[in-house]
Chain A
Amino acid sequence: MSRFSDVGNDLYTGKRSVPVVALRRRFYGVSLVLLVVAALGLAVQGLNLGLEFRGGSEFRVATTSAPADYEQVARDAVGAAEDERGVNVTLVGNGTVRVQTERLDDTASQDVRQSLAKAFGVSEQDVSGTFIGPSWGASVSQQALRALIIFLIGVVVMLSIYFRNWKMAAAALVALVHDLAITVGIYALTGFEITPATMIGFLTVLGYSLYDTVVVFDKVRENTAQAFGSGRMTYAQAANLAVNQTMVRSINTTVIGLLPIAAVLVVGSIFLGPGVLLDLSLVLFVGILVGAYSSIFIATPILVTLRRTDDAVVELGKRAARHQAKVARVPAGTTPGATADADGDPVPVGAPGAGQREEGSTLTGRAVHQYARSGPRNQPKRPPRAKR
């Protein structure tokens, strides 16, 4: 823990720093590869659409413990009620047998229920049946799509007002679309089943991804506002620092968000089998992971890229370069390690640390006593109580 908090401290002061912004082309490349893979997966494999989208009937028999030959028993039971059909029997959890058939009419459904109950020796109460009409899935997807569009518009408006900068909203949105695409790609590649609950999960993931991005951007805005005021850091540096400063929070958030979801996922997959609970938690799990990645490595770099040519940002870059050159000339140079900034200029990574130290001196470079710097008032020096 102490080591973790050390890392946190170093990330905060800038002593240690992940050059997220400087290496942005690399992250773009990684994401591009991921996106291409996702697109390929989608094109080649397609999505495994659930019963809700195909239409059909599903029965679940809750037994105390399913017999080993549950599949044959179920097939016989269904076959007894109906002729051969596209019957799909799976065991979910410990004692629940799921039987999916093509669409049955009401009377046939009742027959199948009865014969399943008889075959597995349970009361009819323990057999649940689901029937989905073929147009249901289409209407659900349509609703989800509409919800998505309205949500995106709402978010852009909200963020543009909050950040008073449309480029931030745009960058957040790019990260969002990135998350969505990769999540869909993962679903295509793994062949996880997509149900209406999954679609809603996608939408929630978008909310979560934004939430994450917003927290980072809030810090970016604060740092860059400071940088615009003091002219000591370029926009890219200030943004990079913000990402690093919020990194501990991002990690903590992701872990804490994932823990309960992981619990649901494990419990759900062991005991319950496919259902709203599992579908939702699976998509949230995947989405939150991707969302955490994009909020750190994609959103802020894109913001920097977008604002690269803004007049104010270019101007700030020049001011910061002048200032940093001046700092570098001071013999007590405070560069714990140097890296290249986004544009390749060598700058001290510990810029904020430098900034903090700068507080120790006046503009003319005269040192101010350390006690005068930190406390709210300049008190006369007194020995600590313990030493009196």
Chain B
Amino acid sequence: MAAVPPKTLARRALIALTVLVVALGGVLAGSIVWSDGQATPKLGLDLKGGTQIILEPRGKAGQTVSAAQLNQARDIIVQRVDSNGVSGAEVTTQGDRNIVVSIPEIPTQAVRDAISKSSQMQFRPVLAVASGVPQPAPSASPSASPSAAASGSATPSASPSAVSSASPAPTSTSNSAVNEALTAASPTPSPTASPSASPSAAASPAPSAKPSGSTAAPNGPTDLAWITPEVQQRFTALNCADPGALDTIEDDPAKPLVTCGVDDGAKYILGPVVVSGDHISDASAGYQTNQQGVPTSRVEIALSFDAEGTKQYADISRTMVALPSPQNQLAATLDSRVIVAPQFNEAIPNGRASITGNFTIESARALADQLKFGALPLSFEEQSSVDISPTLGSEQLRYGLVAGLIGLLLVVGYSLVQYRVLGFVTIASIVVAALLTYLTITVLGWAQNYRLDMAGVTGLIVAIGFTADSFIVYFERVRDELRDGRSLASAVQTAWGRAKRTILIADGVNFLAAIVLYLLASSSVRGFAFTLGLTTLIDILIVFWFTHPVLTLLTRLPFFRDGHPWSGLDPRRLGVTTTRYAGRGRFTSAPPAVREPEGSRA
């Protein structure tokens, strides 16, 4: 009989499984030793405690947003969460309309409000610029490109270094943004001796503000009279390196705004809103073309406005182009923060502006996206918010595990009753499956930041039954083949050939359900779909690489081969009533059967 191939195959499969388990264990151990991995799965909010807020972004007239806008909205929320000093928060999009914010603590009301406030892009004239931190860090400024940006077609002279060289202040190559700000302040009547090295810019605009600010009401949005002493004081006090610096910002379109740049490390005093962001009709990034229409290596962001925006933009550009720097800069703010503040090189009457500067094509694209989608005034509607206290979460987990353990014991008991010693194969299979699942989930927690939540735990418990079922299908098949009068070794192989297909299609249906659920369901049950799909895959793996090989090898033991009554594969119990040739010159004798006379009937 063909004994060697199945046996060899079985050994190979078991070795493969061992290699897989060891490899997963190795990855896990490695992640713990050399990285920030941990030995237990990462837990979701509902088990660990924390808050989950589900937001739905909406457009102006209540219309829903597109997928690209949703991603943009998520970036907005990420920025807000970061700027509110919330640590360990995760922001993800869910489906095609929701944004899920998961915070591992219960946030204050102020933080909640800050996260879900409406987003609005605005254009405001720059009144003053300074370094955002009292002590400009050398590393902060090379990214100062936005403030160095210039509009108009030919702007070779707009480079920041040219401006900064004119500055009387001590120049260091690294903080060009600050230098520019200083230069901006200097045209004002009072040439204050800038206090040499220390906290720099903050001091210098002050004198300029006083003369006008105290006398008359501001005349037009670019008037420096907007810088009242109170505004100046806020500006001086502002430290953009502090993540919570802008928590209390008040953004009134009709008033000046003291704020920070998103990533240029500068702080600004901005005049009132001159153009609202929703007048932007398009923004795109690309390489500038010269007069011959040949693309150059210079990156530009092309910006266009709708009819009303064009008019407003033309007006403000005519006014501002004549002003000294930095008052000729027009800042675009998103969520009250300056994302870019280019200066005008010429009036722009046709509503088609081109921003050039020190961009890479990637940074230009990102900026163009921000301009384009940021232009859309989004409001965020709170769909659901769940606070889980850590006490409740850990209690849920504990009882979930208890339930799982009881379920497992029940399954173990039942399979022992049904399949006797063969039941141990089921148990061993489930144990190996559990080990694989544990390793996979823990490794995924490290590699993919997968978090196990309550729904996931439920999925795991339910999966015990599903996994055990594939063994039942298989064992019942083996019994069927035994009843047909096969020897055990051949029954196992034949049954495997047939059970394999059944298990595959059944698991296939299960997997399909898991995928559909995972892709389409809401986040509260995504964890369930995930663990269901994962355990289905592991189930297939275990049946192919563990249960079948183990059974193949076991059936060679005399205990099973000879059909011990406790083996669960006793032919007599299965109603096999004829004497059969059992190979190697042996027969399995059975009690005299009713069929015998008929069989020898002549």
Q: Which residues of A contact B479 (CB under 8 A)?
A: 8, 12
For A152, the closest partner residue in chain B by CB is: B516
When the two chains form their complex, are residues B386 and A275 in contact, meaning their CB atoms are under 8 A apart? Answer: no
In the complex, the answer to whether B581 meets A379 with C-beta atoms within 8 Å is: yes
Residues of chain A from 101 to 123 with CB closer than 8 A to chain B in the complex: 106-107, 110, 113
* CB contact between A252 and one of B418, B510, B575, B602 (< 8 Å): that residue: B418
With a CB–CB cut-off of 8 A, which chain A residues contact B589? 384
Known: A106-B113, A214-B509. A257 touches B520 (CB 8 A): no
In the complex, whether A188 has a CB less than 8 A from a CB of chain B is no
Please tell me if A227 contacts chain B, counting CB pairs below 8 Å: no
Residues of A within 8 A of B (CB): 1-2, 4-6, 8-10, 12-13, 52, 60, 62, 96, 106-107, 110, 113, 125-133, 135-136, 139-140, 143-144, 146-147, 150-151, 154-155, 158-159, 162, 196-197, 200, 203-204, 206-208, 210-211, 214-215, 218, 222, 245-246, 248-249, 252-253, 255-264, 266-268, 271-272, 275-277, 280-281, 284, 332, 334, 356-357, 360-361, 366-367, 369-371, 373-377, 379, 382, 384-385
Q: Which residues of B contact A211 (CB under 8 A)?
A: 466, 469, 506, 509-510
Does B383 lie at the interface of the complex (its beta carbon under 8 Å from any beta carbon of A)? Answer: yes
Provide the residues of chain B in CB contact with A106, threshold 8 Å: 109, 112-113
Q: Which residues of B contact A2 (CB under 8 A)?
A: 573
Task: Tell whether B19 is near chain A: CB-to-CB under 8 Å.
Answer: no
* Contact assessment for A128 and B388 in the assembled complex, using a CB-CB cutoff below 8 Å: yes
CB distance from B496 to the nearest CB of A (A): 14
B336 to chain A, nearest CB (A): 21
Q: A-B pairs with the 9 shortest C-beta distances?
A: A260-B407, A375-B581, A207-B513, A9-B575, A257-B465, A263-B407, A267-B403, A147-B520, A259-B410
Report yes or no: B517 in contact with A203, Cβ–Cβ below 8 A.
Answer: yes
Q: How far is the CA of A204 from the CA of B505 in the complex (A)?
A: 16
A135–B510 Cα gap in the complex (Å)?
Answer: 30
Q: Would A196 and B524 count as touching, CB distance under 8 A?
A: yes
Chain A residues with CB under 8 Å of B386's CB are 128-131
**Which residues, 442 to 480 on B, are CB-close (under 8 Å) to A?**
454-455, 457-458, 461-462, 464-466, 468-469, 472-473, 476, 479-480
Knowing A106-B113, A218-B502, the reply to whether A5 touches B574 (Cβ < 8 A) is: yes
Partner of B417, one of A1, A371, A385: A1
Given A143-B520, A267-B406, A280-B528, do A206 and B598 touch, yes or no (CB 8 Å)? no
Complex interface: chain A residues within 8 A of B381 (CB): 133, 135
A-B CB contact pairs (8 Å), 23 listed: A12-B575, A107-B109, A131-B382, A133-B383, A135-B383, A143-B95, A147-B520, A147-B521, A200-B528, A218-B501, A249-B476, A252-B472, A256-B469, A266-B406, A277-B454, A281-B461, A357-B598, A361-B601, A369-B600, A370-B600, A384-B589, A385-B585, A385-B586
* B438 at the binding interface (Cβ < 8 Å): no
**Cα–Cα distance between A140 and B524 once the two chains are bound (Å):** 10
Contact A210 B509 (CB under 8 A): yes
Instruction: Please list the residues of chain B having a beta carbon within 8 angstroms of any beta carbon in chain A.
Output: 1, 46, 49, 54, 56, 95, 97-98, 106, 109, 112-113, 381-392, 395-396, 399-400, 402-404, 406-408, 410-411, 414-415, 417-418, 454-455, 457-458, 461-462, 464-466, 468-469, 472-473, 476, 479-480, 483-485, 487, 490, 498, 501-502, 505-506, 508-510, 512-514, 516-517, 519-522, 524-525, 528-529, 532, 573-575, 578-581, 583, 585-587, 589, 595-596, 598-602
**Would A257 and B513 count as touching, CB distance under 8 A?**
no
**Residues of chain B contacted by A140 (CB below 8 angstroms):** 522
A residues near B113, Cβ cutoff 8 Å: 106
Alpha-carbon gap, A204 to B527, bound state (A): 13
A5 CB contact (under 8 Å) in B406, B484, B529, B573:
B573
Kindly list chain A residues whose C-beta atoms are within 8 Å of the C-beta of B410. Answer: 259-260, 262-263
Least Cβ–Cβ distance between A330 and chain B, in angstroms: 11
Contact A382 B458 (CB under 8 A): no
Q: Given A130-B384, A215-B506, A367-B599, are A268 and B586 also a contact pair (CB < 8 Å)? A: no
A131-B386, A263-B461 known; 20 new pairs, CB 8 Å cut-off, are: A9-B483, A52-B384, A60-B392, A125-B49, A126-B391, A135-B56, A140-B522, A143-B95, A150-B520, A155-B509, A214-B502, A222-B498, A257-B466, A260-B464, A267-B399, A267-B402, A281-B462, A334-B598, A370-B578, A384-B587
A267 to B583, CA, bound (A): 51
**CB <8 Å contact, B411 and A256:** yes
Known A-B contacts A367-B602, A376-B581; the reply to A357 vs B595 at CB < 8 A is: yes
